[in-house]
Amino acid sequence: MKIKVTNSYSEMSSVAASKVAKIIEEKPNAVLGLPTGNTPLGMYHELIAMHQKANLSFEKVTTFNLDEYIGLERDHINSYNYFMFHNFFKHIDIDKANINIPNGNTEDPKEECAEYEKKIAKAGGIDLIILGIGVNGHIAFNEPSDHFPASTHIVTLDQSTVQANARFFMSVDEVPRFAITMGIGSIMHCRKIMLLANGEAKAQAVKEALQGPITPALPGSALQLHKDVTVILDTGAASRLTLT
Ligand code: GLP
């Protein structure tokens, strides 16, 4: 595992964007796993700038989002589908046919989970997945649990996650209680993983994920078992790590 501590959120974001750009330059039809949340916003802004000013092209890139709420219309302002189009996809030259986001507004979410795994396999697997981390150590929407879920599945969100995500909604009561998420197994199958975290609020989760025991009680700790993980932090998120 490579850990890079940057001096600021903007440096974390540009280091992350450069790594994504390098993957796309080496493999124009790369398959990317993409997160939502505040953490990756700066990286998306950088990638948009690289597209606009440096001709970075996403034309042949395929994307798979990590997760989506269950029960929101696809274009609901708080859906992850809306987040991705608004903050990233509408600003780049990606082929819409190559964008994959779990459909949380379907009659049969279980079938949607199975289909999502099939689509990932059909695309040849994911070259690089980019992750944020929740304050309780969740990655994608894999909440603390007694096992590591293997594949895309339906989750009940933790009360702490509902509270943390309430900032995006009018009230906490509006936050969906269920979501579709890639499993820990889906994440571990990706060829490369990049974890981003900024701010002191994430320091404990980062410490436990990277240097604590490997346990489904702290889902991010599974990353210690993957052979190609790059972690990019700011000083706040890195503040509890033991760095040699
Ligand atoms: C959500 C997402 C995660 C994300 C996490 C952290 O719950 N499902 O993929 O990593 O929040 O969000 P933020 O980056 O806003 O702290």
C-beta neighbour count of 97 within 10 angstroms:
7
223: tokens are 């990353």
- Each residue's pLDDT tens digit, 115-172: 999 999 999 999 999 999 999 999 999 999 999 999 999 999 999 999 988 988 999 9
Q: How far is the CA of 59 from the centre of ligand 1 (A)?
A: 27
What would the 3-class secondary structure string for 45-72 be?
Answer: HHHHHHHHHHCCCCCCCEEEECEEECCC
The whole-angstrom distance between residue 235's C-alpha and the CA centroid of its chain comes to 21
Considering only CA atoms, which residue is closest to atom 5 of ligand 1?
A: 134
Residue with tokens 């790590």: 241
pTM above 0.85, yes or no: yes
d(CA 182, CA 189): 11
Residues sharing a CB contact under 8 Å with residue 122, sequence separation 6 or more, in sequence order: none
Pocket residues: Cβ below 6 A from ligand 1: 35-39, 66-67, 132-134, 140-141, 161, 165
215: tokens are 């346990």
Catalytic residue IDs: 67, 136, 138, 143
If one residue of 9, 13, 36 were mutated to test the ligand 1 pocket, choosing by the most ligand atoms within 8 A of its CB, it would be 36
Query: If DSSP codes are grouped into helix, strand and coil, which group holds residue 34?
Result: strand
Q: Is the pLDDT of residue 39 over 90?
A: yes
Considering only CA atoms, which residue is closest to atom 3 of ligand 1?
A: 140
d(CA 19, CA 38): 19
- Each residue's pLDDT tens digit, 179-191: 999 999 999 999 9
Q: Is the pLDDT of residue 223 over 90?
A: yes
